[in-house]
Structure formats: structure tokens, C-alpha cells
Amino acid sequence: MPRTSHLATAGTSRRTDDRTRALRDHLSARLPELLAEHGVPGASLAVAIGDETITAAAGVLNLRTGVPVTSDAVFQIGSVTKVLTATLAMRLVDEGRLDLDATVRSILPEFALADAAAAERITVRQLLSHSSGFEGDVFTDTGENDDCLERYVAELATTPQLFAPGTFFSYNNAGICVLGRIIEVLEGMPFDRALRGRLLDPLGLDRAAGDASEAILQAAAVGHVREDPDAPLAPTRTWAMARSNSPAGSRLAMRAEDLIAFARLHLAGGRTPGGEELLGAGAIREMQHPQILLPEIAQGTAWGLGWEMWQREGGWVIGHDGSTIGQAALLRLVPSRGIAVAVLANGGDAKPVFAEIADRVLEEFAGIAPAEPPRPGAGAVPLPAHPERFTGRYASSTAITEVRLDFDGRLWLERVPVGIVAELGDLPYRSELVGWRGDVLLPVEPEGGVHQPVAFLAPDERGRAGIMHTGRADVRVDA
């Protein structure tokens, strides 16, 4: 019996080796093709399959210099940083120094919003699950000094409340920055120093760069943007956003392989490769437990503590996406199968590249069926009854969106960026909206290579939508 068992295991190992070798060959050949197809200057990827890590890279770090991408190159990971911030917060929970259901005010008495009653009620758990309800796209630059997060939180005092805490999901950068300030207060040091000392260093991520001064010492990717829709991609003139948004993902850069090393912490129940327990298995499970459901907008089923969660045919997937100024990142994990995928890119339509790579790995090695991306024209779906319910003006701190019904019954969306995102090169967007699933509509024109569904929620007494939701809740501002 032992002999038979050994032979079966060896046979399985050989089959796995053959499959991973085939995957490595496929990714090395396919990645350059994908970049060319979708206008992406450069990309790096890493895949964890059990104990093995596969890497591949293609393209250039900077279209101006032509320096090639290698697997040692660092890219900004954008909002994937939020999962690292959440992991750091959960270390404090594990140590009994932070209570998930404590109010923010109990730790930061100075925390204030335009809605004083809401500010008193918001909890740490709601920050982690993006359900606190206040305007989340606040990118105020409060300088480069160590007090930048403290000053940033003070700037939130006039930030509006979009909905009652715990009512909806709405992606919230500012909430994660508040969480970063909580970490600072409990650790007694600036956030970026706490992140390095309490998470990056224990994981051996000495190549991770917290800002441009660290990234410049390595092969660093530069983001690429367009000055207008018809202009060619060009290197951005601003490498990173403000330090005050670091907990939410404004600066952290690393190799795809480094991101996989972080993912392995969550695949291994909170233990490092050397066996050190950085995070208890209970905390890992809590992070991966759904906290709040998302609208049906093709961005996930639910949100955990830091993790976005997808219930797919074949099982649950967790992960996060990220974007900064002309750079983008994807991280996907299937904890039940020990699989993780990280892909980093520096411009162009990166999302279709990410989708093809992640879908291939998750289907072949974790049995997770690919999700069909929303596409208009895949079957005629009429607009729901009384589409005038959706018309009007919706606003956030980063955009003003008009939805209008024209004379022949067609519905149109037009978005104009405002504030810091407009200054950083976000472009206006216009598209017809067509039927998809109930009061969730689909734009005809892609943006960034995808058709992002638009949900209309929270009807008022007249039946008019009070919220337009695309991952963030934009509130109606017309009378």
C-alpha cells in the first residue's frame, strides 16, 4: 500500500510539472501578443501553483526609453495595497489591540465628517468592507511630512455622507486612509514605516518600494496615459499620487513575484514560508468571509475585510484590482486550491489582458469557470419600464454624470471628470445605455476595454433613482 501511494503521488507530481511547464511556455509566448493586441506598453506576471511560482514579462517599462520589462521590474500595485493595509490592521486585531466593531471615534476622537451622527457610528469593520457610506474619492495632498495622514483625516470634516453607515457598499479610498491613520496611532509610527516593519520586512519583500525615491533605485515601470481619446499613449508626467493616500494605494510598487509572496501568506493560513505566524488562521478566515453584498455590477459578489470576493462556478475567488496614474494591477487567489495570480501593467487596455491570463490559470488549475464579461448586443434586452426614472445629474468628488433620455427613447450617459482626477488626465466619457439586468444597465461604449454595468438604486418617493452605482455610489444632485 505505501508503494502504491508513493507511485500515485509521483505520477500526480509529474502531471503537475508537465502542466506548469506548459503554462509557463504558454504565458511567455502569449503575453507579448496580448500586449500588442490591447496597446499595453509592458507587463509582468507571476502565478503560484502550490509551492511553485511561474513568472513572465514582456514589453517596455517606458515608451520613451524603450527599457525592456523583466520579472525584476517594480510596478505600482495601486489599490491592491488596500489588502496589505487590511492585513496589517488584522495583525492588530489578532494582538487584541484593535476591535473590528469599535467606532473610529473611539480611536480617533477627532474624526469628523459633514454628517456628525454618521461619524460617531462608523466602525473599523465598515472601513474594511467599504460600507461606511461617506464620499470615498478624496485625494487631498497634505504634503510629504510624517503628519500627512493626520492632516488628511482632519480634511475629511466637510466630506458628505452618501448613505447611512452599513447600508450599501461603495468603494472608499478615504476610508482606507482613515484605517491607515488608526494603524499609525496604535503603532506609534508613520503608516509606511509600520507597513514595512510589520508586513513587508517579515515577508522578505525588500524590493517593494514605498515611493519614487525607493523605486528609482530599481527597474521601475512608468505609467502611460493619453492626453485626449485620440492621442497616443505617452509616459505620465506624474509618477505617483499623494503620500496621504498611501494606505489606499497611491504609491506602493513591487514585483509581481513579491505580490505573489504576499498572497502566499493568505494561502498558507497566515504563515510565512519559514513557518512564522504573522496572522492567525482565524483572522485569515474572517478576512475571507463576506461582509456586505455588492450590486450586480460585474465587480464581485461581496466584499470581505479587505478582499473583493467572487462566487463563481467552481468555487469562491478572492482578490483585488488596482490602478494609479497609467498603471494597473490584478491579484486573484483561490485559497481552497493554493492558486494565486498577479499581473501588473503600465498603460493601455490592461483589463482584457488581465482577464485572459487569470481566467486561463483559474480554470486550468482551480476548476473555476471564466465569467462571461458583460457585452452589449449579446442578446437584445430592452430598457426597463419608465427609463426616465434614471435621468438626471449624479455627482461625486471626482465626476459629474448626466443621464438623459433623447427624443427616440434612447438613454445616454455622459461623465465629466472634476478635481484631482481631471488634473491627472482622466478623460470625459459618453455612451448610450442599454438594457442588461433589471435596473442595471450596460454602456455600449467600452472604457478601458470593458463595459462597466451601471446600477440605479435607492428610488425616492417619485420612483427616481437616488444613487447611480458603478462600484462607487454617485448621488443624485438635481432637484
Does residue 79 have an active-site annotation? yes
**What nine digits make up the cell of 404?**
438623459
Would you tell me how many other CB atoms lie within 10 Å of the CB of residue 18? 10
Question: Does the CA dihedral 443-82-86-53 come out positive or negative?
Answer: positive
Q: Which of 44, 71, 79, 246 is catalytic?
A: 79
Contacts of 433 (CB under 8 A, 6+ apart): 383, 390, 403, 411, 412, 413, 441, 442, 443, 444, 454
Cα distance between residue 27 and residue 167, in whole Å: 42
E strand residue ranges, 66-142: 75-76
Alpha-carbon distance 453 to 446, whole Å? 10
Residue 147: HSE in the Cβ half-sphere, 13 Å Cα cutoff? 3
Residue keyed to cell 511567455: 28
Rounded Cα–Cα distance for residues 357 and 341 (Å): 8
Cβ atoms of 306 and 87 closer than 8 Å: yes
Question: Which positions ≥6 away from 5 have C-beta within 8 Å?
Answer: none
DSSP 78: G
Are the beta carbons of 319 and 332 closer than 8 angstroms?
Answer: yes
Supply the DSSP symbol for 318: E
Residue with cell string 478601458: 448
Cβ contact 158:229 at 8 Å: no
Crossing angle for the helix pair 2-38 and 350-366, to the nearest 10 degrees: 170
Residue 121: how many other CB atoms lie within 10 Å: 16
Q: Could you give the CA distance from residue 56 to residue 71 in angstroms, rounded to a whole number?
A: 6
User: How many angstroms separate the CA atoms of 434 and 454, rounded?
Assistant: 10
> What H or E segment, with its residue span, contains residue 224?
strand 224-225
C-alpha–C-alpha distance, residues 205 and 219, integer Å: 15
17 vs 49: CA distance, rounded Å: 10
Sign of the C-alpha dihedral computed for residues 30, 36, 37 and 40 taken in this order: positive
State CA 479 to chain mean position distance. 33
* 133: DSSP letter: -
Instruction: Please choose, from the candidates 261, 250, 222, the residue with its C-alpha nearest in 3D space to the C-alpha of residue 51.
Output: 261
Residues marked active site are found at 79
